[in-house]
Structure 1
Amino acid sequence: MSENGNVFDMKKKDPINFKKYVKLGLVIVGIVVLLLLALTSIVIVKEGEYKVIRQFGEVVRIESEPGLKFKVPLLQEATTLPKKKMVYDVEQKEINTLDKKRIIIDNYAVWHVTEPENMIRNAKTVLKAEARMGEFIFSIIRSELGQLNYEEIINDEEHERGDLHQRIKDRANQLLEANSYGIRVDDIRIKRTDLPEENEQAVYNRMISERESKAQQYLSQGEAEKNRIIAQTDRNVTEMLAKANADAAQIRAEGEQEAAKLYNEAFSQDTEFYQLYRTLESYKTTVDGETTIILPQNSPYAELLLGFYE
């Protein structure tokens, strides 16, 4: 070892400088630390999410635009909140209708976070926000359906379900806004309305009986309407036939009158021909295949038959 602290290699006689290696190690460590600090200060915000920057547990800011953001390393931390629309399947529960029927309601809601600060401040977490929203929705559904009879709920012809869904959504958003939960309901749908198992058969039997009674009523009304139409048709046919017969009789009478007039005019022009015609016409009623005629020789029939007529 020399007087200035350097260590000599006994073979090469070259001193080893430890201070140089210590400084190099410190520089490398410093660079690594700086890289780690730089990396931990970068926050990547993706589409469809919020980044919540907290310092000592308190929210200092919320990043909503996608891209690279920065925070103070070690002092601040970033957590994620969903920005996209989410589906919350509300737990099915029983309610009572206006006509005292117990039914099971199963529904779902589509919602999203609109104000992350208010949601964190008042609901704390997404799960708690969903729970409060579910409570509001069930309360509103129970109130709305409690004003309707069971058949109005299940029969779309008597009750328009679309208006009901809109009313529930509007009232739920009013309650969420009034309590500053920072979330909004986009849509609410009732998936099904079922009866408890112990009530299903009794209600189904009653519904079948009512439908059969309604069907019999429709059949009776149809039969009565059929008889009315048949009677009206028969009456119309009778009136039409009577009028047609009357018109035909009048036409025949006018034709016979006109024919008689023509006959008179024709026969008056040749009386002998008329006499011959009348004689021949009388043969139609007096002579047939079994007729025996005994005539005087000087009778008109005999003269005509024997060719003596002049």
Structure 2
Amino acid sequence: MRKSTFILPVIVVLVAVIMSSVFIVDEREKALVLQFGRVVAIKEDPGLAFKIPLIQQVVKYDDRILSRDVQPLEVTPLDDRRLVVDAFARYRIVDVNRFRQAVGAGGIAAAETRLDSILRSQTREVLGSVSSNDILSSDRAALMLRIRDGAIGEARGLGVDIIDVRLKSTDLPSQNLSATFDRMRAEREREATDERARGNEAAQRVRAQADRTVVELVSDAKREAEITRGEADAKRNAIFAQAFGRDPEFFEFYRSLTAYSRALKGTNSTMVMSPDSEFFNYLKSAEGAGKSALSSQPAQRTQREQPGTSE
């Protein structure tokens, strides 16, 4: 009875010692065995491992790819157009011994604080060397690669490998939004004014060309019309001359009727002239013309006889 009472506590103590000396390394982790704060063993392969109870302790770190959101920071590109950049990084602990030496008991939290400082410094340096248009364009992928490459060297001092750096958003500071919007609107209005001016200039050229074409066409048409009119007048005069040569009396009659038509045209129905004017030769009746001829014959005969009488 006394032996069993003594043996049972010993067995319990032995089991407790054995249990405290065994630890399991998960495939997603890496482990350090510390003795009085100094690293004495590194366990990277998954499975069972052993340590000295009460003297040694085990510290485990995540072996997976971790993500870290960088606090938004304000950068000033080459064109002095301030931007607020929000970024994040993916990293992995590749050297747990160096990681422990760099961050001590602070662990991942202390490492991420130092990582933030490295990433913010590299982001300011890279984005400050280009213009805002480059940051907002498709070239930002190359800029993110430059930030990652610049941060890799410093991060290795922490035992960390930076896998990727991404810019989540790039915005203007709230106090600059209104001024930037006004400047963008002014630029668009200037471009619109330039486009309208170029359009008006092109319209003036087209209008001037059209006016010149119209003048040329009208001039050609008038020239051809004058030529046609001259040819027609020449033919008409030739016809009149031919008609006049065939029957001069009819031609004179036709010209008199034309003169009457033009003189008595419209409201012009009154004319004052001498009764014996030649203008009315063809308006006189045949009887009147005969009487005037008979009355004129005695006068002519008398005038002819007067010289014989004197003889």
TM-score range, shorter chain: 0.5 to 0.7
TM-score (norm 2): 0.61
Instruction: Give the alignment of 1:101-112 within 5 angstroms.
Output: 101-112=81-92
| 1:204-234 per-position Cα deviation (integer Å, ceiling 9, x unaligned) | 12113323433555676688889999x99xx
Residue 159 of structure 2 corresponds to residue 182 of structure 1: yes
Q: Which has the higher helix share?
A: 2
- Alpha-carbon deviation of 1:138? 1.0
* Structure 2: runs of 5+ lacking an equivalent: 210-311
RMSD: 2.6
Cα deviation, residue 195, structure 1: 1.7
The equivalent position to 2:56 in structure 1, one of 61, 76, 87, is 76
* 2:34 counterpart residue number: 54
State the partner residue of 1:132: 114
Give the Cα separation in 2 of the matches to 1:82 and 1:66: 12
Secondary structure of residue in 2 paired with 1:100: coil
- Cα distance change, pair 141–223 in 1 and its aligned pair in 2 (3 A): farther
* Closer/same/farther in 2, CA of residues 22 and 200 from structure 1, 3 Å limit: same
Residue-pair matches, total = 207
Identify the residue that residue 34 of structure 1 maps to in structure 2. 14
* Structure 1 counterpart of 2:177, from 187, 197, 200: 200
Check conservation: 2:93, 2:99, Cα contact below 8 A: yes
1:176, distance to aligned residue in structure 2 (A): 2.3
**Alignment partner of 1:152 is 2:129:** no
Mark the CA change 1:205 to 1:56 in structure 2 (over 3 Å): closer, same or farther.
Answer: same
- Radius of gyration: which is bigger? 2
* TM-score (normalised: structure 1): 0.61
Q: Deviations over 1:170-218 (max 9, x none)?
A: 11002223xx211011000111122221111110121133234335556
Q: Is the Cα contact below 8 Å between 2:78 and 2:129 reproduced in 1?
A: yes
Identity of aligned residues (%): 32
Residue in structure 2 matched with residue 173 of structure 1 by the alignment: 152
| Distance apart, 1:79 and its partner CA | 1.6
Aligned 8 A contact 2:134 2:140 in 1: no
| CA distance 1:78–1:219, change in 2 (3 Å) | farther
Residue 199 to residue 43, structure 1, CA distance change in 2 (3 Å): same
**SS of equivalent residue, structure 2 residue 80:** coil
State the secondary structure of the residue aligned to 1:181.
coil
Q: Is the 8 A contact 2:135 2:143 kept in 1?
A: no
Q: Tell me how far 1:127 sits from its aligned partner.
A: 1.7
Paired AA for residue 155 in structure 1 = S
Q: Residue 117 and residue 207 in structure 1: after superposition, are their counterparts in 2 closer, same or farther (change >3 A)? A: same
